[in-house]
Structure 1
Amino acid sequence: MTADARVSATAGMRTRLVILAVMMTFASITFQLARLAASGTGDMVATLTEQTPRSLARPDIVDRGGRLLATDVEMPSLYADPSLVRGIDNLTERLQTVLPDLDRAELRRTLSDRNRRFAWIRRGLSPRLAQEVHDLGLPSLAFRTELRRAYPLERLGGHVLGAVNVDNRGAAGVERFIDEGLGADPQTGRPFNAGLPVRLTIDLGVQHALEEELKSAMSRYEAKGAAGLVMDVRTGEMVASSSLPGLHPSSPAELMDPERRDKIQGGTYELGSIFKIVTVAMGLEGGKTKLDTVFDVTKPLTASRFTIRDAHPAGRPLTTSEILIRSSNVGSGLIALQEGPEKQQAFLDKLGLTATIRTEVGPVAPPQLPPKLGRVEQITVSYGHGLAVAPIQFAAAVASLINGGTAVTPTFISGRTSGTDRARVVKPETSRDLNLLLRRTVSEPNGTGRRAEVPGYRVGGKTGTAELPGRGGYQKKAVISSFLGAFPMDDPQYLTLILLFEPSGTEETGGEILAGRNAAPTAGRLISRIAPLLGVKPERDVALLRN
């Protein structure tokens, strides 16, 4: 065999060996795949590890007119790679020149863990601060753009809006309702409606007017706190709600401050004489009591060791109408005693004043009820003591009484109420009679609410001055002054509730702390501002018709 033939045979042998090796390799792979498929192994699981928690996209929140209350904005967040840090003390000192409130000890502990590749330093920096940190030139630091919640109107409507946590998840108020009530993706936590705005029933202009008037009243009457609301009596929609001191949605720490608790639905109070609205309505609905029924209020009521008197005795018997207009404790107690404990309890139940409720802002503080309605409790509850309820719950009950007699539920989200098939609370004629009395309480010279009068808007309402409980009993100098008002009383559309906490007697009030001298005029000033915003036109006062 020639040399060329031997070379050619050797090359051919090598080629065949390579081909054989490749074929054997593929055969081995095919065999292994077949074996795995036949072995019935469980589903293969791929584990993806996210380096950091991601902030969630959230829907905008707008008022009833579409004006922006909350939105997402992109902001830089600062993080570090501890494995790359060289000189922890130097880095910490330089960072504190830009971020002086950093916890130095905590930062040292975080950066000392060299097994970590990621650690947050500060989330949601302003662009100016982010630039200053960048200019430090620290190689182990970097930024990540995140979505952060922004509230362009700052504290306006703070308790209603609530707050989000550091990952942009709802923590309180409507923000929490978006996640829990409207639903969120169970895998990502992203709200299902993140691309659509959430429209509130709140009116921005009315909310602003309410907060301004409450701030003014706190200063004017030297009160320690204030709260108020505006409700559509036909639907239960909350047009405005405020509690002072206020809450900034961007400061979740303020949620833990007891002084900033939402007084509208986060606390319960003995509301005093505004509760006589309920008692008189109960008497009128029961049928035994008419507007002109006379009660002998010249003698105080006694129950056990207690004696109940009127603050300003009339010195003569009073009609049902006069009991409400002049705010007689004795007369209110007599109406309750005439109805009896069973009917009083049933009426409170029917109005929803004994049940636990909640709104989209969160749970409403449950009512504090007497263990039973004995003679003492019947009398004291009739004029607003011995039973404590959240203001929003009481407002909804009164709205049901004055809107023609159908129950409403308070709501903060547009489109969640229905005007049909609502439960009837009282007869239409009872509602009309009550509206007449509330109007007279404001319009007549001896009415306790006369300082709430606003010409042209036919305001009606009732004052309440409730002594606050304290060590050893009620405190005569520490009260909640309140005024529950509505307008226009010939066809009620809106209800207002003003509460002033521990007002002082001033020169303007003649040294008095009665609601007729502080809460009532505050309500009048508020109504004069918001009625035009709500489309209620001033008209010449008309008599209420009663059939």
Structure 2
Amino acid sequence: VVLAFSAIGGQLVRLALKGQIVEPRTAMTQPLTTSYWRPDILDRNGRLLATDIEAPTLYADPALIIDVDVVVEHLVQVFPEFDPVELRRSLSDRNRRYVRLKRGISPALAQRIHNFGLPGIAFRNEPKRVYPNGSLAGHVLGHVNIDNKGTSGIERYIDEAIGIEAAHAGAPGSLEPLRISLDIAVQHAVEDELRAAVQQFGAKGAAGVILDVNTGEVLAAASLPPVDPADRTQSLDPARLDKLADGVYELGSIFKTLTIAMALEAGTADLDKIYDVRAPLQVGRYIIRDPYPVGRPLSVREIFVRSSNVGAGMLALELGSERQRAYLERFGLIKPIRSEAGPIAAPKLPRRWGKAETITIAYGHGLAVAPLQFAATAAMLVNGGLFVAPTFRMSSPETARPVQRIVSPETSAAIRDLMRSNVVSPHGTGRRADVPGYEVGGKTGTAELPGRGGYIEHSVIASFVAAFPMSAPKYLVLVMLHEPKPTDDTGGRITAGVNAAPVAGSIIARTAPLLGVLPK
């Protein structure tokens, strides 16, 4: 319902505050100060995400004030937060001709003050940034400061890349709107499903992203708890951190897609090679076991589908620490990257990269990355092997990003085959992500959260990376749940196969039709 009215909502917002304030006859000529008007932000289909309105700013000309005490008395009635002593001091300096008192006040309050008929008290219209969809896509859109200048997200990108000050300082509405890659209907569906998952699994938070695997365009990017772009104080709340881009996490077994891709590229293994995973791996005092041991040797395909930590560790040991790190750098997971919405948090690498670290990184422990950065790498693994950096701009010849081949088409095809098998196999950890007709493939990841002196038992990051349709992937979906709790529905488990995987499936079921992907 909210989205149905988004096309007219922007115009209603623009009109809401116009023509409602009558300037007092006692007002001085409006001071010549610069007010920065910003371009509208639109989604990929032209729906309004951010715009400017004219909002009254209350100011005083002390030289025209007849009775300071009367003015202070009336203003404190309307704004109890005003300090009477400080206000009286400011208004008593008759050498000052302009004292800004309060920005962005409501038309009702402005009319109330106007009715007082106070000489030297007046209003001027200044730009105020508004977001018709509330907190939807708040982390991506970012914030502006009190001067209407961008401080984070796409708002900051507008200032830095487009140059808002140089571009315009005049009437509203004359700047070309900025159209970004988000689809607000898809964004709404993703946030809605994540919100339901947080409630269902008692998670502290969640994140999700949908990427076009061929262009890198971000169709949806959500982090919960959300932020309201109109309330810049929320960005100071650590709980509202943008988990997609500003947080780094050990993501667990979704890293096995990388480990097997490395082995295939290096020629140290193929999908049919057998490894004896019956015995745990031991490195010094560390013992690596499979959470659900099978009790027999496994092929590489089975290592992936059954998510064997021992098998992934053996593959990594064959590759070696140096080649593992080199491949991770080649895959784009060692150095920080950035998008138009801002820098993406730098990966957190192990201080020492020895045998133990080589094993644990193979199954997603010991190296922490931002989910958005991992999503870009995963998109490369399924799109034929071409890395395209994530972008919030619409793809065009002017905005096209460099494309680099990272793995062979054959390796990419093998990873697609494995991911599809993991969803359709009766033993696959991702079978709850299946959506009939959409050829979903994916991989689960469950990683214990690191704490002081080790990992915190029963506190995990549960993730699922998926793509569809796997015969010719168009979109990648990454879901992450922060500390989900065991429930009766999950049989008391907190692993990704029983929480993150079905959430990814629900997201795909809702968004695939919106994205124009038809079931087969």
Tell me if both proteins adopt one fold, taking TM over 0.5 as the criterion: yes
Aligned with residue 439 of structure 1, among 420, 424, 435: 420
| Residue equivalent to 1:287 | 267
Are the aligned partners of 1:179 and 1:191 in contact in 2 as well (CA < 8 Å)? no
Which moved further from structure 2: 287-296 or 83-92?
83-92
1:532 aligns with 2:520: no
- Do the aligned partners of 2:38 and 2:164 also contact (CA within 8 Å) in 1? no
For residues 63 and 298 of structure 1, the distance between their equivalents in structure 2, rounded to whole angstroms, comes to: 52
Q: Quick one: distance in 2 between partners of 1:117 and 1:207?
A: 48
Alignment partner, residue 46 of structure 1: none
Q: Provide Cα deviations, 1:29-73, integer angstroms capped at 9, x if missing partner.
A: xxxxxxxxxxxxxxxxxxxxx946432111111000111111111
Of 90, 94, 105, 2:74 maps to 94
Name which of structure 1's ranges 235-244 and 507-516 shifts more when overlaid on structure 2. 507-516
Q: Secondary structure at the match of 2:197?
A: helix
CA separation in 2, counterparts of 1:531 and 1:204? 14
| Match of residue 483, structure 1, among 464, 470, 474 | 464
- Cα drift, residue 104 of structure 1: 4.7
Structure 1 range deviating more: 371-380 or 487-496: 371-380
Shift of 1:98: 2.6
Contact conserved, 2:55 with 2:105, CA < 8 A, in 1?
yes
Deviation at 1:421, TM superposition (A): 6.4
Counterpart check, 1:502 vs 2:483? yes
Query: Equivalent residues in 2 for 1:290-439 (5 A)?
Result: 290-415=270-395, 422-439=403-420
Contact 1:184 1:191 survives alignment (8 Å): no
Equivalent in the alignment of 2:232: 252
1:167 to 135, 143, 147: 147
- The residue identity in structure 2 corresponding to 1:425 is I
Distance 1:439 1:106, change over 3 A: farther
The residue that corresponds to 2:502 in the other structure is: 521
- Give the letter for the 1:66 counterpart: G
The alignment status of 1:180 with 2:155, answered yes or no, reads no
**Which of 203, 212, 234 is the equivalent residue of 2:192?**
212
SS at 1:227's partner residue? Answer: strand
Mapped to 1, the partners of 2:414 and 2:88 lie a distance apart of 72
- Structure 1 range deviating more: 168-177 or 418-427: 418-427
Hey, what's the Cα distance between the residues in 1 that align with 2:167 and 2:96? 25
Counterpart residue type for residue 488 of structure 2: E
Q: CA-to-partner distance for each residue in 1:69-110, whole Å, 9 max, x for gaps?
A: 111111111111234445555433422333334455543443
2-structure distance, mates of 1:190, 1:164: 18
In 1: Cα distance, 2:301 partner to 2:161 partner: 44
Counting only pairs closer than 5 Å after superposition, residues 197-208 of structure 1 correspond to structure 2 as 197-208=177-188
8 Å CA contact 2:388, 2:402 repeated in 1? no
**Residue 62 (str. 1) matches residue 28 (str. 2):** no
Aligned counterparts, 1:62-81, within 5 A: 62-81=42-61
Gap change, CA 1:215 and 1:106, over 3 Å in 2 = farther
The CA deviation string for residues 5-27 of structure 1, in whole angstroms up to 9 with x for no partner, is xxxxxxxxxxxxxxxxxxxxxxx
* Number of residue pairs aligned between Structure 1 and Structure 2: 490
Structure 2 gap ranges (5+)? 1-29
Distance 2:115 2:250 in 1: 58
Question: How far apart are 1:184 and its partner, in Å?
Answer: 3.7
Distance 1:478 1:111, change over 3 A: farther
Determine the C-alpha separation between the residues in 1 that align with 2:168 and 2:134.
28
Shift of the 378–101 alpha-carbon distance from structure 1 to 2, 3 Å rule, reads same
Cα distance in structure 2, aligned partners of 1:203 and 1:171: 23
Aligned to 1:40: none
Q: Could you report, residue by residue, the CA deviation over 1:111-155 in whole angstroms, capped at 9, with x for unpaired residues?
A: 343432211111112222211222233223100011211111111
**Residues 104 and 419 of structure 1: CA distance in aligned 2, closer, same or farther (over 3 Å):** same
How far residue 211 of structure 1 moved from its aligned partner, in angstroms, is 0.6
**C-alpha distance in 1 between matches for 2:141 and 2:254:** 28
Separation in structure 1 between the aligned mates of residue 407 and residue 172 of structure 2, nearest angstrom: 40
Specify the alignment match of 2:250 in structure 1. Answer: 270
Residues in 2 aligned to 1:384 and 1:104: alpha-carbon distance in whole angstroms: 59
Structure 1 window deviating more from structure 2 (447-456 vs 369-378): it is 369-378
Structure 1 residue matching 2:151: 3-state secondary structure: strand
Cross-structure match for 2:102: 122
Residues 185 and 191 of structure 1 are in contact (CA less than 8 Å); yes or no, is this contact kept in structure 2? no
Q: Which has the larger radius of gyration?
A: 1
Match of 2:20 in 1: none
Which moves more between the two structures, 409-418 or 457-466? 409-418
Distance 1:421 1:210, change over 3 A: closer
Identity of aligned residues (%): 54
Deviation sequence 1:424-446 (CA, Å, 0-9, x none): 11000100010010011111111
Q: Residue 148 of structure 1 aligns to which amino acid in structure 2?
A: K
- SS for the counterpart of 1:369 is coil
The 1:192–1:464 alpha-carbon spacing in structure 2 relative to 1, beyond 3 Å, is farther
Secondary structure of the residue aligned to 1:380 is helix
Matched letter for residue 91 of structure 1: V
Of 420-429 and 146-155, more deviation after overlay is shown by 420-429
CA deviations over 1:345-380 (Å, ceiling 9, x no partner):
111011110111111101111111123421011001
TM-aligned CA distance change 1:122 to 1:80, over 3 Å = same
Q: What do residues 313-372 of structure 1 show as CA deviations (whole Å, max 9, x unaligned)?
A: 111111101111111111111111111122111110111101111111011111111234
**Residue aligning to 1:19:** none
Counterpart in the other structure of 2:429: 448
Instruction: Determine the structure 2 residue equivalent to 1:464.
Output: 445
Residues 514, 77 of structure 1: alpha-carbon distance in 2 compared, 3 angstrom cutoff: same
RMSD, aligned α-carbons? 2.1
Q: 1:225 to 1:485 in 2, by over 3 A?
A: same
